[in-house]
Chain A
Amino acid sequence: MNNKTKRFTYLALLSAMAITLNLIETATIPPMFGVFRIGLANIIALITIQVLGVKEMIIVNVMRVMIGNLMSGRIFGSSFWISFGGVLLSSIVLCIMHKLKASLMFTSVMSSIAHSIGQVCVVAFFYMTGYIAVILPYFLLLSIPTGLFTGFIAKIASERVNPLKK
């Protein structure tokens, strides 16, 4: 298999995994305090940036939001834009952290925080109220353990995925 085909196959597999994880989490794990999710699909974004790079991570994240929402019948609805806002900001932070060569665990926590902030910004824009920001301290606090958890899983998985690249 040439290198381009291999990368494309990896990209397709990782996108499928991200979408599946996203759908499984939505269907099986109830959100904490009614609004906060662990963000299992972030594990795949972290693996992608490690294994393939920034451009591919953005593709996986966009595919995850687009196809995930399409499959759950919420495409271009309010929940789509809320997830899109979260993914957009978390992708930007992932790129910055990758450039700064931060550790995977730290990158994961920062991306989790950025995801929450992105979602809160979209909700504030939709409802034209800044009062939603009161939820941010709770999100910040919850993002740390969930980010560490997804970062830990991504670290273990990356160690197993990297040898397959060769």
Chain B
Amino acid sequence: MKKKEIKILVVIAVIAVVGIIAMQFFPKKSTDPNLTPTEKPKGEWVAIIHKNEVAQWFDSGVDGEYTVKGDYGEMVVEVKDGRWHVGSVECPNHTCEQMGWDDGSSFMPITCIPNNIMIGTSEWVENYLSNE
């Protein structure tokens, strides 16, 4: 092999190594909204599902309020101290509001049938969506 060819191969190898190292610093962000976010949460990842699609992911360790639009109207989910509940909802029966606070340990996720919305942990979401 000529010297020039060896140099080209070395350059290609260096480019490849730099590319591999660069990828370790810039991990790929998930583009599928149904997949659990790759970032490490303070609490755990919880999803608000509307029509079998994740409408919103939130970290249960970060207090906040999330508004999503359902089939009937809007739903406001409140997150506080690692737990979440439906703060207000536009629907005829308000059952989901009465389901109270959830921390992922309850038997079934918070569900609003008129709005076709469910709120569950990432583990539950992955099981639920893979069976749909």
A residues touching B (Cβ–Cβ < 8 Å)?
102-103, 105-106, 109, 113, 131, 134, 136-138, 140-141, 144
Beyond A105-B1, A141-B17, 18 extra complex contacts between A and B, CB < 8 Å: A103-B1, A106-B1, A106-B8, A106-B9, A109-B9, A113-B12, A136-B19, A137-B18, A137-B19, A137-B23, A138-B16, A140-B12, A140-B16, A140-B19, A141-B13, A141-B16, A144-B9, A144-B13
Q: Which residues of B contact A102 (CB under 8 A)?
A: 2, 5
Q: Which residue of chain A has the shortest Cβ distance to B22 in the bound complex?
A: A137
Q: Which residues of A contact B19 (CB under 8 A)?
A: 136-137, 140
Is B15 part of the binding interface, using a Cβ–Cβ cutoff of 8 Å? Answer: yes
Docked complex Cα distance between A113 and B13 (Å): 11
Docked complex Cα distance between A105 and B1 (Å): 7
- Nearest CB of chain B from residue A138's CB, rounded to whole Å: 7
Docked complex Cα distance between A105 and B4 (Å): 13
B residues touching A (Cβ–Cβ < 8 Å)?
1-2, 5, 8-9, 12-13, 15-20, 23, 28, 31
Q: Which residue of chain A has the shortest Cβ distance to B21 in the bound complex?
A: A137
Q: Identify 12 residue pairs between A and B in the complex whose beta-carbon atoms are under 8 Å apart, listed by A's number.
A: A106-B2, A106-B5, A106-B9, A113-B12, A137-B17, A137-B19, A138-B16, A140-B12, A141-B13, A141-B16, A141-B17, A141-B20
What 5 A-B pairs are tightest by C-beta distance, nearest first? Answer: A137-B19, A140-B16, A106-B5, A141-B16, A137-B16
Q: Which residue of chain B has the shortest Cβ distance to A103 in the bound complex?
A: B1
Docked complex Cα distance between A106 and B3 (Å): 11
Q: Which residues of A contact B20 (CB under 8 A)?
A: 137-138, 141
Q: Which residue of chain A has the shortest Cβ distance to B5 in the bound complex?
A: A106
Docked complex Cα distance between A145 and B16 (Å): 13
- Nearest CB of chain B from residue A67's CB, rounded to whole Å: 32
Q: Which residues of B contact A103 (CB under 8 A)?
A: 1-2, 5
Q: Which residues of B contact A137 (CB under 8 A)?
A: 15-20, 23
